[in-house]
């Protein structure tokens, strides 16, 4: 198996392909017609709320679950029907699943021994060094801290140099500080070894800091896939807009979609959205603006030439959070919009009841199909 | 494995300086042991050294007659061998039967788990004696099992099951199977299914996964199950008495008749203690070998 | 591995505990390290009180198949006794053989404690032992006029209780051979029982040494009423042979009837009355060619039994010929009561002259009683016999 890995790697790229994969548990559809490609060597994050099917997807890649339909392949090789132990795939389990009766050394050497690899000792020592656990080889898992156990789980999978490494919320159990540290470490190891990581998380910050590509999953389907900035700046669905960061979504009517800036009517006030960020061109649409992209100014004090402006807001709530001040501004049509002002000291601050206008540049907003629920993905677990 | 690791272990294992009155917790257990183990054992030890020429009627004089041990063991060595042989076979067969059973209950029984567990312990609702007596009926020479085996020519026409070593060992197996099954089940039930998946993920075929993960993790249950079977089986006499003939009699039969029929207390005590000692030695060797102390 | 907890206990505390236990164990050890007293209870040292006046009850331990069914309405002799006297009898068939019953009650009797039984039935030689050990209460013949009037003369004064001060026979009987006519031809001698190849593994012998060894001695040409140690040892060696070659399936107490009924056993050493009481004509009993073993089982009242007077009434009741006849007509053992034969004619003509109940002279003339043994002989022989039984 190890040899065939090598051969394959030198030939065609060992991309991971999921093609029209579905998984049903009885009537319940856990993964629905999912298609995605993870390029070889990529750090790919699968992001989504609890229960959306992330673990199920990973388990199908690992072979621990059989897809109801569709195929899984690595490079040109279809592995859909392959038993887990025959796949060039290893998993770092959400719960680590370290073998309690084996030492750390033996845990890490486990895969090598099963494959009958020769220089187990050297490779395992190297791996212990890589995950910085050289002096812990003789201990049992129960004698390690959570972070150390996590590194054992990682080393145990990595040492096999799998075509694809699956990580199922490996950092979920760690406290914030350790999690940040481990995120950096994971990223370092991935860069060093250069194998494909598929990293499952429901922490959007984690996904954005680590991954080259993020797929946002919801109810068994992938809502959007792309680079972190792409997903953040130009979400295609309300779910993504709300799940990644926060968004103000305002109901509008498309007035003119012929130019490079789509003009929409927002409760009587006209604003523009870059065409590349408009995902609808007629009828109603959700205008999306990130709170930190909005400038608030005293009523009628500023007049932006080519910016967007909504006037007539009244500050209804102010919360000071250090680096920024968060305002809630009640608009004439009753909706409250969120505005984050950086505390640079350059800009005026407001208090409740102040009348303000809101401004932003057309490249900083996006327009979404009005058929979707504006609140999709907004209610999330509190992360971190 | 390497010296720095052992050091590291000791760091986490600080002896409790502040334990203070903790030893009080040992008192009930100590008293219990004293009353129900140490006290009778010491009594038994003294009894085993009585003058063998005494009798129940005339009384036994204490003559510190250590020769009793040599005499008794010489006289009953075949019984010792047979007891350990039967107990060993019983333990082995129980293990072979109970492991798949416990495995199925722990991993495959789904919502039938509780029903199956109740079935395993159901025999305990009737007395040991009654159950063994009903085996007498099941294995009777004119009974259904014997008839069936004769019809299949597995048994010769004048062959029988009852009053043979097979019946005795079968009775032992039947009676001690739950003692093997329950600890095994308890151990297997604790095995995290995800560990087995992890083994599969790490290139173990189902069989290798079993050998390298499930089996070692079930060792505590396996060891206690074999002990719970072997120890009482080697001292049992009911099965040999009811299902066997004098040729199948085990040490327990001799002890019971020495105690309860002959009232030859020194002999009975000598044999009891010798059996106990031998079993303890075997258990220690066994635990050493199986290395259970190291298991989590 | 952590250190054992005990090493973490303060030394002083532990030592205190340890010395305490050493003391206790030492104490107990002193008890046992002196050896045991004899089992004999000196006369006058274990007096019983009789509560028969206030407690109308009797607790009775007997052998199986020895009393007509208690459940049978109107015919049960025991029920009749209860009705006539108003004494409630609690009846147990917990005597399976003499030695194991003795072992059951010995711990109490040797320590002068109550056995919770008012009367039990044991064979002559065991009755003799218990009288010797001082474990029994003396019976008051004034309460049992029927015994004095009706006890067969031949049973009136055995050597071990010449005045019947402690014992009154319940029934007498013979030990011989029983066989299942559906499974085997008649087995007419012990020789056949132990050597016929088709009986291999299909016979049982009794755990009663005196019964079984009596036949072994006869087979050896020795006289069971007068034999030597060597003769006994030879007989034991002979017996061992049949155990080793698998001819003998088991040694049993009164439970031999189970194997016989289940068809596991084709022939066995058996007590005369049991087979008739089984009530199935396929089971036959016969007197072996070598001879028969004769014995009586006796009602005995142990020390500290609290209803001796009630027991005496019970004994008196069963010595009324009509009651004795009813009993004998059911259990088919020798009836020790004069006049019972006349009574039996009233209701069961077939039983009249039945040799099992009223033995003919020529049968009795072939009978043997086992030689009386002193304690040393008894122990020695019993040990040899147990050795054979114990594999
Ligand atoms: N074996 C199963 N039988 C039935 N339903 C299942 C099974 N496994 C998963 N599901 C369901 O499938 C859905 C997806 O589960 P999955 O474990 O993939 O979620 P997830 O995205 O990993 O969630 P989390 O972030 O909480 O781990 C859930 O609704 C779950 O209840
Ligand atoms: Mg999951």
pLDDT band at B10 (very low <50, low <70, confident <90, very high): very low
3-class DSSP assignment, residue A367: strand
Domain boundaries, position C238 = 176-291+371-390
Candidate from A34, A51, A66 with most ligand 1 atoms within 8 A of CB, to mutate: A51
The answer to whether C117 and C61 have CB atoms below 8 angstroms apart is yes
Q: Which of the residues in chain C have pLDDT under 50?
A: 1-29
Residue A229 to residue B78: CA distance in whole angstroms: 84
Two structure tokens written together for C321: 């010929």
pLDDT of residue C124: 94
Contact B59 C9 (CB under 8 A): no
Ligand 1 atom closest to the Cα of residue A94 is 27
What's residue A371's pLDDT? 86
C14 CB within 8 Å of a chain B CB:
yes
**pLDDT band, very low/low/confident/very high, at A370 (cuts 50, 70, 90):** confident
Using a CB-CB cut-off of 8 Å, the residues of chain B touching C201 are: 160, 163, 245
The tokens describing A339, both together, are 């505005």
Share of chain A above pLDDT 90, in %: 58
Residue C14 lies inside a defined structural domain of this protein: yes
The 10 Å Cβ neighbour count of residue C42 is 9
CB-based contact A365:A288 (threshold 8 Å): yes
Task: Give the separation between CA B165 and CA B246, rounded to whole angstroms.
Answer: 10
Nearest Cα residue to atom 22 of ligand 1? A55
Question: Is residue C364 assigned to a domain?
Answer: no
Rounded CA gap, C131 and C59, in Å? Answer: 20
- C-alpha atoms less than 13 angstroms from C-alpha of A155 in its C-beta half-sphere: 28
Q: For residue C215, report the distance from its CA to the centre of ligand 1, in Å.
A: 81
Query: C124 and C16: one domain?
Result: yes
Touch of B by C (3+ CB pairs closer than 8 Å) = yes
Q: Do C110 and C243 fall into the same domain?
A: no
C277 and C306, same domain (yes or no): no
Q: Which residues in chain A touch residue B192, judged by CB atoms under 8 angstroms apart?
A: 95, 97
Q: Point out the ligand 1 atom lying closest to the alpha carbon of residue A220.
A: 14
Ramachandran region, residue C168 (left: φ > 0; alpha: ψ -120 to 50; beta: rest): beta
- Alpha-carbon distance of B236 to B254, in angstroms, equals 11
Q: Which residues contact B11 (CB under 8 A, 6 or more apart)?
A: none
Asked whether the beta carbons of C290 and C190 are under 8 A apart, the reply is yes
Q: Identify the closest residue of chain A to B192 by CA–CA distance.
A: A97
Note the pLDDT of residue A71: 95
Query: What's the number of CA atoms in the CB half-sphere (13 Å) around residue C52?
Result: 20
Say whether B59 and C39 touch across the interface (CB within 8 A): yes
Q: Is the pLDDT score of B123 beyond 50? A: yes
Beta bridge partners of A264: A254, A271
pLDDT score, position A8: 43
User: Does residue C117 sit within a domain?
Assistant: yes
Write the CA distances from C9 to B20, B99, C20, integer angstroms. 8, 40, 16
Pocket test for ligand 1, best of A55, A207, A219, A381 (most atoms within 8 A of CB): A55
Picking from A1, A101, A139, the nearest residue to B8 by CB comes out as: A139
Residues of B (108-127) whose Cβ lies below 8 Å from A: none
Same domain, residue pair C39 and C151: yes
pLDDT in tens, A193-208: 888 999 998 888 889 9
Q: Return the pLDDT at C11.
A: 44
More confident: A8 or B159:
B159
B29: confidence class by pLDDT, cuts 50, 70, 90: confident
CATH topology of domain A246-369: OB fold (Dihydrolipoamide Acetyltransferase, E2P) (2.40.50)
Of B34, B43, B62, which is closest to C21 when you measure between CB atoms? Answer: B34
pLDDT of residue C126: 95
Ligand 1 pocket by C-beta < 6 Å: which residues? A 25, 28, 30, 48, 50-56, 202
A249 and A287 in contact (C-beta within 8 Å)? yes
Mutate to test the interface with B, among A2, A100, A109, A157 (most CBs of B within 10 A): A100
Residue carrying the six token digits 């801290």: A145
Nearest ligand to the CA of A31 is 1
Q: Residue A257: its pLDDT value, please?
A: 84
End-to-end CA distance of chain C: 46
> Average of pLDDT values for A170-190?
83
Ligand nearest the Cα of residue A52 is 1
Rounded CA-CA distance B135/A169 in Å is 57
Which atom, in ligand 1's list, is nearest to the CA of A54? 21
- CA pair distance A218, A231, nearest whole angstrom: 15
Beta-bridge partners for A180: none
The answer to the question of residue C366 being in a domain is no
pLDDT tens by residue, B224-262: 999 999 999 999 999 999 999 888 999 999 998 888 888
Query: Which one is predicted more confidently, A338 or A11?
Result: A338
Q: Hey, what long-range contacts does A20-24 have (CB within 8 A, 24 or more apart)?
A: A20/A69, A20/A70, A20/A71, A21/A57, A21/A60, A21/A67, A21/A69, A21/A70, A21/A71, A21/A72, A22/A67, A22/A68, A22/A69, A22/A70, A23/A53, A23/A56, A23/A57, A23/A60, A23/A65, A23/A67, A23/A68, A23/A220, A24/A68
Residues of A in contact with B1 (CB under 8 A): 103, 105, 137-138
Q: Two tokens at C78? A: 């025991």
Domains for chain B: give ranges and CATH numbers: 1-37 (no CATH), 71-295 (1.10.3720.10)
Write the residue in B1, B201, B219 that is nearest to A103 by C-beta.
B1
pTM comes to: 0.80
B201 interaction partners in chain A (CB closer than 8 Å): 62-64, 84-85, 89-91, 157
ipTM of the complex: 0.79
* C12 contact partners, CB below 8 Å, separation of at least 6: none
What whole-number distance in Å separates Cα of residue B84 and Cα of residue B93? 14
Q: What is d(CA C151, CA A352) in angstroms, rounded to the nearest whole number?
A: 123
Pairwise CA distance, residues A83 & A94, whole Å:
21
Q: Are residue C34 and residue C96 in the same domain, yes or no? A: yes
Query: Nearest CA to C133 among C95, C94, C100, C107?
Result: C107
Tell me whether residue B248 is exposed, middle or buried, using C-beta atoms within 10 angstroms of its C-beta: 0 to 12, 13 to 18, 19 or more. Answer: buried
Predicted local confidence at residue C5, as pLDDT: 38
Pairing of strands A295-298, A355-360: antiparallel
Among A271-280, A364-373, B64-73, C9-18, where is mean pLDDT lowest?
A: C9-18
Tell me, yes or no, whether C61 lies in a domain. yes
Q: What's the gap in Å between the CA of A13 and the closest CA on chain B? A: 23
Q: What residues 105-144 of chain C have any CB closer than 8 A to a CB of chain B?
A: 106, 110, 129, 132-133
Could you tell me the end-to-end alpha-carbon distance of chain B, in angstroms, rounded to an integer? Answer: 16
Report pLDDT for B239. Answer: 94
Cα–Cα distances in Å, from A199 out to A57, A151, A171?
A: 11, 15, 10
Left if phi > 0, otherwise alpha if psi is -120 to 50, otherwise beta: which for C294?
beta
Contacts of B27 in chain C (CB under 8 A): 17
The number of domains in chain C is 2
In a mutational test of the B interface, the residue from C36, C374, C378 whose CB has the highest number of chain B CBs within 10 Å is C36
> Tokens in use for A197?
């990581």
A172: helix, strand or coil = coil
The answer to whether A14-233 and A246-369 have equal CATH topology is: no
Split at pLDDT 50, 70, 90, the class of A100 is: very high
What local confidence, expressed as pLDDT, does residue A3 receive? 41
Task: Return the residue matching tokens 């064979």.
Answer: C123
Q: What is the CATH number of the domain that holds C32?
A: 3.40.190.10
Rounded Cα gap, residues C328 and A319, in angstroms: 109
Contact B79/A at CB under 8 A = no
When the pLDDT of each residue in chain C is averaged and rounded to a whole number, the result is: 88
Q: Is B200 on the interface with A (CB under 8 A)?
A: yes
CA-based nearest residue in chain B for residue C96: B261
What phi-psi label fits residue B64: left (phi over 0), alpha (psi between -120 and 50 degrees) or beta?
A: left
A14-233 CATH fold? Rossmann fold (3.40.50)
Residues C62, C24 share a domain: yes
The domain segmentation of chain A, as residue ranges, is 14-233, 246-369
For position C118, what pLDDT does the model report? 96
**Residues A90, B2: C-beta atoms closer than 8 Å:** no
**C321-331 and C308-318 helices, crossing angle to 10°:** 80
Q: Which atom of ligand 1 is nearest to the CA of A48?
A: 21
Distance A55 CA to ligand 1 centre (A): 7
**Within-domain flag for C154:** yes
C80 in a structural domain: yes
On whether any CB of chain A is under 8 Å from the CB of B292, the answer is no
How far does the centroid of ligand 2 lie from the alpha carbon of residue B256, in Å? 62
Question: Which residues are CB-contacts of B197 (< 8 A; sequence separation ≥ 6)?
Answer: A64, A84, A93, A97
Same domain as C273, residue C216? yes
Do both C256 and C144 map to the same domain?
A: no
- Asked whether residue C36 falls in the same domain as residue C122, the answer is yes
Residue A303, pLDDT > 70, answer no
Q: How confident is the model over A231-247, as pLDDT tens digits?
A: 999 999 999 999 988 89
pLDDT at C30: 52
Q: According to the model, what pLDDT value does residue A45 have?
A: 94
User: How far does A73 lie from chain B, in Å, by closest CA?
Assistant: 17
Longest dimension (CA), chain B: 75
CA distances from residue B290 to B182, C9, C378 in whole angstroms, order as listed = 19, 29, 50
pLDDT at A305: 63
Residues C295 and C273: their CA atoms lie apart, in Å, by 12
From chain A, the residues in CB contact with B295 under 8 A are 101
Tokens encoding A16: 């991971």
Tell me how far apart the alpha carbons of residues A168 and C74 are, in angstroms, rounded to a whole number. 84
Q: Are strands A261-266 and A89-92 parallel, antiparallel or unpaired?
A: unpaired
């Amino acid at each position: 198996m190890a040899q065939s890995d090598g051969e394959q790697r030198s030939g065609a790229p060992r991309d991971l392909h999921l093609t029209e994969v579905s998984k049903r548990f009885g009537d319940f559809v856990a993964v629905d017609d999912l298609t995605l490609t993870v390029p070889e060597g990529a750090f790919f994050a699968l992001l989504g709320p609890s229960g959306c099917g992330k673990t199920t997807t990973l388990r199908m890649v690992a072979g621990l679950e059989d897809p109801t339909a569709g195929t899984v392949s690595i490079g040109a090789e279809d592995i859909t029907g392959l038993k887990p132990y025959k796949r060039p795939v290893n998993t770092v389990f959400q719960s680590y699943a370290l073998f309690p009766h084996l030492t750390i050394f033996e845990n890490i050497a486990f895969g090598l021994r099963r494959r009958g690899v020769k220089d187990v000792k050297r490779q395992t020592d190297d791996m212990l060094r890589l995950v910085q656990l050289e002096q812990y080889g003789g201990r049992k898992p129960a004698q390690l801290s959570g972070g150390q156990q996590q590194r054992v789980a990682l080393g145990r999978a990595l040492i096999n140099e799998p075509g694809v490494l699956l990580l199922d919320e490996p950092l979920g159990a760690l406290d914030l500080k350790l999690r940040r540290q481990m995120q950096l470490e994971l990223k370092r190891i991935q860069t060093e070894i250069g194998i494909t990581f598929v990293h499952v998380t429901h922490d959007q910050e984690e996904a954005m800091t680590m991954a080259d590509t993020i797929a946002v999953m919801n109810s068994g389907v992938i809502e959007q896939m792309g680079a972190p900035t792409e997903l953040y700046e130009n979400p295609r669905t309300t779910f993504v807009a709300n799940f990644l960061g926060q968004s103000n979504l305002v109901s509008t009517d498309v007035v003119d979609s012929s130019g490079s800036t789509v003009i929409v009517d927002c409760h009587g006030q006209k604003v523009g959205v870059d065409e590349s960020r408009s995902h609808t061109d007629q009828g109603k649409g959700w205008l999306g603006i990130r709170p930190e992209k909005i400038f608030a100014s005293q009523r009628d004090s500023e007049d932006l030439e080519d910016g967007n402006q909504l006037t007539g807001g009244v500050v209804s709530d102010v919360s000071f959070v250090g680096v920024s001040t968060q305002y809630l501004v009640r608009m004439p049509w009753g909706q409250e919009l969120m505005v984050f002002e950086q505390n640079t000291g350059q800009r005026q601050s407001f208090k409740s009841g102040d009348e303000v206008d809101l401004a932003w540049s057309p490249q900083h907003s996006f327009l979404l199909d009005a058929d979707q629920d504006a609140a999709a993905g907004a209610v999330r677990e509190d992360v971190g | 494995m390497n010296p720095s690791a052992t050091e590291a272990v000791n760091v986490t294992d600080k002896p409790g300086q502040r334990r203070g009155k903790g030893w009080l917790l040992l008192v009930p257990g100590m008293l219990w042991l004293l009353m129900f183990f140490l006290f009778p054992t010491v009594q038994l030890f003294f009894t085993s050294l009585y003058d063998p020429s005494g009798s129940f009627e005339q009384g036994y004089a204490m003559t510190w007659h250590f020769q009793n041990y040599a005499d008794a063991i010489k006289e009953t060595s075949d019984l010792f061998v047979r007891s350990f042989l039967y107990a060993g076979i019983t333990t082995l067969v129980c293990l072979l039967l109970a492991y798949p059973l416990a495995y199925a209950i722990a991993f495959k029984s789904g919502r039938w788990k509780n029903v199956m567990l109740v079935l395993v312990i159901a025999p305990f609702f009737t007395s040991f004696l009654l159950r063994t007596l009903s085996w007498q009926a099941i294995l009777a020479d004119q009974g259904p099992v014997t008839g069936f085996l004769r019809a299949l020519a597995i048994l010769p026409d004048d062959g029988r099951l009852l009053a043979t070593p097979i019946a005795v060992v079968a009775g032992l197996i039947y009676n001690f199977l739950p003692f093997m099954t329950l600890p095994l089940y308890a151990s297997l039930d604790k095995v995290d299914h995800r560990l087995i998946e992890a083994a599969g993920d790490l290139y173990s075929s189902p069989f290798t996964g079993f050998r390298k993960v499930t089996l070692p993790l079930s060792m505590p249950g396996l060891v206690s199950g074999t002990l719970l079977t072997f120890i009482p089986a080697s001292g049992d006499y009911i099965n040999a008495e009811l299902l066997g003939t004098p040729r199948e009699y085990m040490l327990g039969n001799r002890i019971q008749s020495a105690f309860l029929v002959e009232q030859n207390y020194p002999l009975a005590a000598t044999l009891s203690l010798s059996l106990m000692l031998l079993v303890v030695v075997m258990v220690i060797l066994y635990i050493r070998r199986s290395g259970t102390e190291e298991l989590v | 591995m952590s250190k054992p907890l005990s090493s973490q206990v303060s030394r002083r505390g532990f030592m205190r505990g340890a010395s305490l236990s050493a003391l206790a164990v030492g104490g107990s050890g002193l008890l046992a390290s002196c050896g045991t007293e004899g089992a004999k209870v000196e006369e006058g040292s274990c007096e019983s009180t009789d509560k028969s006046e206030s407690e109308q009850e009797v607790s009775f331990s007997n052998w199986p198949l020895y009393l007509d069914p208690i459940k049978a309405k109107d015919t049960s002799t025991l029920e009749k006794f209860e009705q006539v006297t108003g004494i409630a009898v609690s009846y147990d068939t917990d005597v399976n053989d003499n030695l194991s019953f003795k072992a059951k009650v010995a711990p109490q009797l040797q320590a002068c404690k109550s056995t919770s039984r008012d009367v039990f039935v044991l064979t002559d030689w065991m009755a003799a032992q218990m009288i010797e050990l001082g474990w029994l209460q003396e019976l008051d013949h004034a309460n049992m006029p029927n015994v004095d009037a009706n006890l067969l003369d031949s049973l009136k004064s055995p050597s071990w209780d010449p005045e019947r001060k402690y014992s009154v026979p319940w029934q007498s009987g013979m030990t011989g051979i029983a066989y299942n006519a559906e499974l085997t031809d008649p087995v007419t001698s012990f020789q056949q029982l132990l050597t016929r190849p088709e009986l291999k593994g299909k016979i049982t012998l009794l755990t009663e040494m005196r019964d079984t060894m009596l036949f072994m001695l006869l087979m050896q040409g020795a006289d069971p009423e007068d034999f030597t140690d060597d003769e006994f040892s030879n007989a034991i060696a002979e017996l061992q042979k049949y155990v080793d070659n698998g001819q003998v399936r088991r040694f049993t107490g009164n439970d031999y009837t189970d194997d016989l009924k289940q068809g596991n056993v084709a022939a066995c050493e058996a007590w005369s009355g049991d087979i008739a009481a089984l009530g199935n004509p396929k089971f036959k009993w016969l007197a072996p060619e070598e001879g028969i073993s004769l014995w009586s089982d006796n009602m005995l009242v142990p020390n500290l039994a609290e209803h001796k007077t009630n027991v005496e009434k019970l004994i008196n009741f069963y010595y009324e010929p009509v009651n004795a006849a009813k009993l004998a007509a059911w259990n088919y053992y020798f009836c020790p009561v004069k006049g019972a034969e006349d009574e039996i004619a009233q209701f069961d003509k077939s039983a009249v002259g039945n040799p099992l109940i009223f033995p003919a002279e020529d049968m009795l003339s072939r009978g043997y009683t086992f030689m009386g043994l002193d304690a040393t002989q008894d122990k020695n022989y019993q040990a040899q016999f147990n050795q054979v039984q114990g594999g």
